[in-house]
Copies of this chain bind each other. A is one copy, B any other.
Amino acid sequence: MDSTEFREFGKAAVDFIADYFDTIRDRDVLPSIKPGYLRPLVQSEVPQQGEKWQDILKDMDRVILPGITHWHSPNFHAYYPTANSYPAIVGEMMSAGLGVVGFNWIASPACTELEVVMMDWLGKLLELPKEFLNESEGPGGGVIQGSASEATLIGLLAAKERVVRRLMAGNSNMTESEIKGKLVAYSSDQSNSSVEKAGLIGSMIMRLLPSDDKGRLTGKILTEAIEKDKKSGLIPCYVIATLGTTPTCAFDDLQELGTICNEGDIWMHVDAAYAGAAFTCPEYRYLMKGVEMAESFNFNPHKWLLVNFDCSALWVKNAKYLVEAFNVERIYLQHKHTGVAPDYLHWQIPLGRKFRSLKIWFTMRTYGVEGIQKHIRGHIELAKYFESLVKQDERFEVTTSSLGLVCFRLHGDNNLTQLLHDKLNNNKKIFTVPCKFRNKFVIRFVITSRLTEHSDIDFAWKEITSLTEQIVSSPCLSKQKISHIQEMNSCEKVNGRVEKSK
């Protein structure tokens, strides 16, 4: 393919994407295919000769779109948002076009330097403590990671490094390996699955402590756990505080947890993956009070800040521990400016890295502070509107509501809500996922798409109430309930097994 053909193909792809968004409401949010649908639609191996781009483009409609769950449909209310915006898409294109790999400064200075400045843009936009900024004096700074999972893991590894160094320097009579075997991390039972994964990967005991009735990890519970571990000779090392938990968007109290961590020389990492974007609006910053006691802070612009995946922002107060945990310098990685600008390869798990800061630059400049705040406030307002609709219907209860997430259920037995949830997803008009909170099965309803309007909320509510009618008026409800429970049980059994679509 030469550049002339690329111009044609690329522009046709731009139109494909624009058309896709212009007509996104015409499609069911969930696809109507079964596992294994795709293999028969494509060749079984790489074709011998090259094909024309026109044929490839046609297959987007034939093969791909029928199997897409439309994350940017206004009817997508599952998980949390994954960001998408036009300027971010163009930023991604530019990054792919230049195709640089910026593992150190010389590998492409603009890639490192724009990232240094963009992390400061974001830090200031959220009004983070100055020690986190790259432009500050001192050893703190920000870096783009691929995901909150990586940020949590990196915090854990840096915390480990810090404790080991402190104890080794303090004439501890333990070996490095003995120290590492005694380290403990803490988070709440509401933290994201990636927290548990970080413990598995980084070989650190991870205690998922019980949260209170609002889904928060309290200082009392944390202190008790720390004291208990200390008595058993273990070494408290790392606390992951969550601002905006995955199930219900609950907020840990950073002032309470931070005080305990600072007194006990424990590294506090803040996981604000979704909710961090709300701190672009001053009225929500009270939720991160105490953030100055954190050693690291992470949120995902690729969730709620309109910057396409992947773009996870991590700040640390002292980058030394990252660099020392990761530095495996080789001669082919050295250059004459080594040590002058940050070589971000030592701030992350992989060696390679893309020019992701272009996406931030394009998106922030296109929207401006005002456009960003309008987006965040608009989503929260839509969630409030949905909440008001639920509250007006006495068959339902709102269990929690926080930022863009409303959790609700049908009064009565959990199975009723579970049945409603299944019906919603089977009907494919709106997409939600459930969670269990304090033994109640609830449906999470999240505003995710930048396209969502009041009429989309009305559409969703109409769908929910009309399927609720079916349940409430169903003559064979008990039978359905039973078969449903059986189905769920069998579903749990296959969980975790390795099976493949063949």
Contacts and interface: CB of A to CB of B under 8 A. Distances in A.
Which range holds the interface residue count of chain A?
35 or more
A99 B368 contact: no
A117 B336 CA distance: 44
A372 B194 CA distance: 38
Contact of A45 (B113, B125, B194, B196): B125
Given A1-B86, A3-B22, 16 more contacts: A3-B21, A7-B14, A10-B18, A30-B106, A37-B113, A38-B117, A39-B135, A67-B113, A69-B109, A93-B93, A146-B350, A180-B203, A200-B326, A201-B202, A336-B487, A346-B496
Contacts of A425: 336
A157 to B, nearest CB: 6
Nearest to A204: B203
Nearest to A182: B177
Looking at A9, A105, A180, the one whose CB has the most chain B CB atoms below 10 A away is: A9
Looking at A9, A96, A120, A494, the one whose CB has the most chain B CB atoms below 10 A away is: A96
A502 interface: yes
Contacts of A346: 496
A323 B498 contact: yes
Nearest to A9: B90
Question: How many copies of this chain are found per oligomer?
Answer: 2
Contacts of A333: 193
Given A1-B366, A368-B50, A436-B331, A351 B147 contact: yes
B332 A498 contact: no
A310 interface: yes
A116 B149 contact: no
Contacts of A270: none
Interface stretch (A77-85, A211-219, A222-230, A287-295): A77-85
8 smallest beta-carbon distances between A and B, as pairs: A67-B110, A339-B494, A17-B97, A10-B14, A38-B113, A147-B350, A6-B86, A84-B99
A193 B39 CA distance: 38
A181 B50 CA distance: 51
B309 A101 contact: yes
Contacts of A67: 108-111, 113
A10 B351 contact: no
Contacts of A455: none
A48 to B, nearest CB: 5
B100 A68 contact: yes
A499 interface: yes
B46 A121 contact: yes
A53 to B, nearest CB: 7
